[in-house]
Amino acid sequence: ATLNEHNNEMSRRLMGVLEKLRNDDRAYYQLCHLVRQGEQPKEGFLLLANLVEDQMGGNSGYSDWMLQISRQVQHS
């Protein structure tokens, strides 16, 4: 799918962020997927399949995040 700018504020903001990232570092020029809350599981899988754990981040890791997501799904 191609990401096109639309005539609304959210679209302009998203395109602005992508343009800034791509101008700052050409490595960011990659295929992007926008996944909206509540969309089909296939689209959600695109997000989950591309997650990379930040080893230098905070104390929680990928497994902690997955546990949190699982709990949120069970409570909704």
Give alpha helix (H) positions in 1-76. Answer: 9-24, 41-49, 62-75
Rounded Cα distance between 35 and 47, Å, is: 7
Domain residue ranges of the chain, discontinuous segments joined by +: 1-32, 40-76
For residue range 27-69, list pLDDT tens digits in order: 655 666 666 666 666 666 766 776 666 666 666 777 787 888 8
Q: Is residue 32 a contact partner of residue 26, using CB atoms and an 8 Å limit?
A: no
Q: What is the pLDDT of residue 56?
A: 63
Q: Could you tell me which residues come within 8 angstroms of residue 32 by beta carbon, excluding any fewer than 6 positions away?
A: 3, 18
Specify whether the backbone of 38 is left (phi greater than 0), alpha (psi in -120 to 50) or beta.
Answer: left
In this prediction the pTM is: 0.36
